[in-house]
Amino acid sequence: MRYAATPVPLFFVRGEGARLYDVDGNVHIDYVLGNGPAILGHAPRPVIDAVARSLGEGQVFAAQNPRETELSERLVNLLPGAEVVRFATSGTEAVLMAMRLARAFTGRDKILKFEGHYHGWSDQAYISARPPLNEAGPADSPVPVAGSLGMPASVLGDVVVCGWNDLDLLRQALERHKGEVAGVIMEPMMVNGGAAQPQPGYLDGARDLCREHGALFLCDEVITGFRLGLRGAQARFGVTADLAIYAKAVAAGFPLALVAGRREIMDTLLDKGVMHGGTYNGNVQSMAAALAALDVLEADDGAVYRDLERRGTRLMQGLADLARRHKVPAHIQGAPAIFQVHFTEGPAPRNYRDAVACDRDRALAFHAALQEEGVRVNQQAKFFLSTAHDDAIIEQTLSAADKAMASL
């Protein structure tokens, strides 16, 4: 069951390009894109054709197939620090694999993660992803907060929580838990907690602190990978993780995730008894989808990304102009392929606590007003763009946003 994201539940029967079609015959310009995977839009023809051709070959073999090797080789040549890749089915699973690898490699138990960073819904990871501030403790030493009923209290003892985008806070947290932290995991751009970019030098500084303390640096690129560029956020921001997790856009809507990283860490899967499994890992259709998606994304030295950046920048700037014209206090921040509108009189949010201080009611009102105009964003007023959002769709979106801003 999926809970309704609008006052009236939406049931969609078809997606094509940048649009969704609901059961009542309404057409929606879609900026949710399945929460990010549909980087090429819905039902992209090259991907659908490749998957259709693969269907008669079987689905799962519990053995290797040539597409796995081909995709692995291409990913190793593309992704920063990727000496070895290992496939999974979902981002949640791949995060758990990365955490297990970090613990096995370092011989330590604790994982340090950041407020507002989402790493899947597992007991081990869904901690302080969206904590109520009255439960989260002081900003300089947050306490772990379980994200769901049904999570055992014991998992909280293996997680250290820190405020993001502040090297002093990270340094202090690592000192408090000296010699205990196996890995530090973060979204290299805090997409889930407010589409905040890292401060200059923050990612490099975090990596250096990890090295100093003997912890692995883990980048969760489930959203940013293949969305912020062909080589992801690490290439965009100039940092290389020990392990990185990818999913969503890598197969343009088909279920695929992976962990990529240093060979000496990844080889613990082979020579140190680290278990990783999954019936659907490396399934034929997801491999075919990912290879076809890469063909499109890599063509002409990544030409589709240049168009995506240009159109996303136009949309971000257009929304900022509309907010000024309608005297609505707002910041539009993130990157052209994934950004969020924050309604606030204060500065642009740099971390989770800044983001939750923004005007949530106005964001919900903007979401609802856009929905009335046939434009679908999520309730945080977050926009995912695809290569199918052409110039005409951007202008249509801005026309709808003009009416939505006027209603706030």
What are 124-147's pLDDT values in tens digits? 999 999 999 999 999 999 999 999
pTM (2 decimals)?
0.95
- What percentage of the chain reaches a pLDDT higher than 70? 98
Q: Tell me the per-residue pLDDT of 293-310, one tens digit each, with 9 for 90 and over.
A: 999 999 998 999 999 999
From residue 87, how far is each of 49, 201, 258, 296 by CA, in Å?
Answer: 22, 31, 4, 21
- DSSP H helices, 141-283, are 167-176, 202-213, 232-237, 263-266, 268-271
pLDDT value at residue 27: 96
Cβ proximity of 228 and 197 under 8 Å? no
Q: Who wins on pLDDT, 15 or 64? A: 15
Per the annotation, the verdict on 113 as an active-site residue is no
Catalytic residue among 30, 220, 242, 354: 220
C-alpha 59/C-alpha 208 separation (Å) is 43
Q: State the Cα–Cα distance between residues 290 and 331, nearest whole angstrom.
A: 34
* Nearest alpha carbon to residue 87 among 301, 276, 275, 353: 276
Instruction: Give the pLDDT confidence score for residue 4 in this predicted structure.
Output: 46
* Mean pLDDT score of the chain: 96
Q: Per-residue pLDDT for 63 more than 90?
A: no
Cβ–Cβ under 8 Å, residues 106 and 215? yes
The pLDDT, as a whole number, for residue 272 is 73
Residue tagged active-site, from 31, 113, 118, 305: 118
Q: Does residue 220 have an active-site annotation?
A: yes
Count of residues making up the chain:
408
- Helix (H) / strand (E) containing 301: helix 284-325
Indicate whether 3 pLDDT > 50.
no
Rounded CA separation 288/67 (Å): 7
Q: What letter does residue 7 receive in the DSSP assignment? A: S
Assess whether 403 carries a catalytic annotation: no
| pLDDT band, very low/low/confident/very high, at 7 (cuts 50, 70, 90) | low
What torsion do the CA atoms of 60, 64, 65, 69 make, to the nearest 10 degrees?
130
Tell me the average pLDDT across 370-385: 96
Segment 31-50 mean pLDDT = 98
3-state DSSP assignment of residue 92: helix
Please give the Cα distance from 63 to 55 (Å, whole number): 17
Q: What is the pLDDT of residue 330?
A: 98
Residues 213-232 pLDDT 10s:
999 999 999 999 999 999 99
Q: Which of 166, 202, 246, 248 is catalytic?
A: 248
Q: At residue 2, does pLDDT exceed 60?
A: no
Q: Which of 190, 206, 200, 219 shows the shortest CA–CA distance to 102? A: 219
Beta strands at 243-246 and 27-30: parallel, antiparallel or unpaired: unpaired
pLDDT at 275 over 90: no
- Beta strand pairing status for 110-114 and 181-186? parallel
Q: Confidence band (pLDDT; 50, 70, 90) for 1?
A: very low
